[in-house]
Structure 1
């Protein structure tokens, strides 16, 4: 299946020098799925609505300051490859080309809606993110913002003093609150207002009750709940308990679309442009060297996520790297930081190997390997 039938032909195009005031008005007036940014008539990047909302830059700022690079995808590209390109580019939309001609855009939602019936082949437990970051009800909004930024995530399950799930706070919740407050208060000296907002307890901003997914339900059911409630993720709980197990997002489900039945391990790298002195092949070979030491553990998929921090050492940025393996015994994760992608990756790889050692002796279990791929082939 390719993306020709699901690419969105309607898109808005602006120049890199266009002011954000104009771009925001375009979203309000035309409600596009995304905006294509060009420079001298050539494609330069994309801007999504949430990306624009989260930016608190002034109206006179040029759109080039908030646009993101996105991969150019061929109109007849296989849908799984298109999904991989979106994930590795860490974007929700990308331009679609018919030869040399810009034909439209493809979105994460369009791909997921097109193959939603195929997601009854596996369960939430098989694709969710287990390394969940949480926050307490009484912790402050400023702490929530710092935690979201540090971990490069967009939502935090909120726990009460007993450790039970009571809500969720997202980047959008915080941005919406700030926008509402500014609209109500008007312009002027905002320093005091900002301090007041940062000191508010998370309880005042969180959405409650949190939308959840059970570990044993299908990813199709979870995805339908996301679409029905216009959210990008759900808190994962075991059965009907209020204990937080993890998070499942649209991107997690999109990633499962790329799982293959090939002998070589499937590896995805988010923010692949941050690789500096190492190559994609080196990353794959290094992970395989670790996993091949433990023949009794079946590895289905590896996801490497790179995140750049502002801190630098002699011009080299601090890079956080997370390596996540989906195996026959569940998820194994290694996280590390270093100056430059190579350093950060190898710190994470060492941590991953130590964690893999804890799974030695496990039995391979292929009960869901290839199920999704076969379902897609039937569409």
Structure 2
């Protein structure tokens, strides 16, 4: 199967020069996790920018300062498995498809799962591919605290637990983006210089005002943000069944629960891709 058979042809893209606010707008309106960046004058591919890039660089205003330059690309006639290997080897979840450096499409890990993997009769259990160490938070945790926990573990999602320590929901980077905005914060720094003489003392003080952007989250609790029904799997759920669940619910990841509904891991589209080449 060629990658052109499953790629998205109508690509939402940002441009350079351009502002970060325009990228936030695209991600929120189109519910995307990242977009390619093209040169405004020529239309050539210039880079790629993701939700993670935005969250990690709230103080930057220009797309060119945040985007990843010279991204990994693929040609429309490349084999799907070849593109999957590129994504896994480079630890990325999306690849622009180009012809002569002109953007003609994009493929994501979700495209691989939803349009290719679910068709394969793979009955291996997902425990072979799941991530075991996943951060969890109480579902009554304030959203800014949940984000700090996610950021501390350098993980793109957190699983929420109810009062009985059972999984009740999941928050992803998309949720954090939707519930945040970039605000300007001013800090004041004082410095003083003293010169002493025999009969007098002269003091001077300089004040430096520093403006910096930061992400500000809503005052909601975790349970106010995630959906009503948690989609989950067990460690023995097959790869095919899990891929079908992701496709059916249009999601990128599902918690893995034990028989007591306690989380024991997480399966993401990017994890399931490995089933295509192993």
Given the two structures, how large is their TM-score scaled by the length of structure 1? 0.54
Aligned partners of 2:179 and 2:218 also within 8 Å = no
Match 1:247 to one of 257, 266, 272: 266
Aligned partners of 1:51 and 1:66 also within 8 Å = no
Task: Mark the runs of 5 or more structure 2 residues left unpaired by the alignment.
Answer: 187-212
Partner in structure 1 of residue 252 of structure 2 = 232
Deviations 1:138-190 (A, max 9, x none): 444333212211222222112234422222233333332335xx9xxxx9989
* CA spacing shift, 1:65–1:88, aligned 2, 3 Å: farther
Partner in structure 1 of residue 139 of structure 2 = 137
Q: What is the alpha-carbon root mean square deviation over aligned residues? A: 3.8
Aligned partners of 2:150 and 2:158 also within 8 Å = yes
More contact order relative to length (CA 8 Å, sep ≥ 6): 2
Alignment of 1:11 with 2:17, yes or no, is no
Match 1:164 to one of 146, 166, 172: 166
Q: Secondary structure at the match of 1:110?
A: helix
Deviations 1:54-105 (A, max 9, x none): 58858x9222234234302133322122112223434332222346654432
Could you say which structure has the higher strand fraction? 2
Q: Secondary structure at the match of 1:73?
A: coil
Moved more, 17-26 or 164-173: 17-26
Partner in structure 1 of residue 231 of structure 2 = 211
Matches of 1:189 and 1:66, distance apart in 2: 20
Larger Rg computed on CA atoms: 2
* CA spacing shift, 1:120–1:137, aligned 2, 3 Å: same
* CA spacing shift, 1:207–1:31, aligned 2, 3 Å: closer
Moved more, 66-75 or 99-108: 99-108
Match 1:221 to one of 241, 248, 251: 241
Matches of 1:195 and 1:12, distance apart in 2: 26
Could you say which structure has the higher helix fraction? 1
Q: Secondary structure at the match of 2:155?
A: coil
Matches of 1:54 and 1:229, distance apart in 2: 26
Deviations 1:116-142 (A, max 9, x none): 211533222221112222122344433
Compute the displacement of 1:212 (Å).
0.6
Q: Secondary structure at the match of 1:163?
A: coil
Deviations 1:216-270 (A, max 9, x none): 22122222222222221111013x53121110111111122232xxxxxxxxxxx
Aligned partners of 2:180 and 2:218 also within 8 Å = no
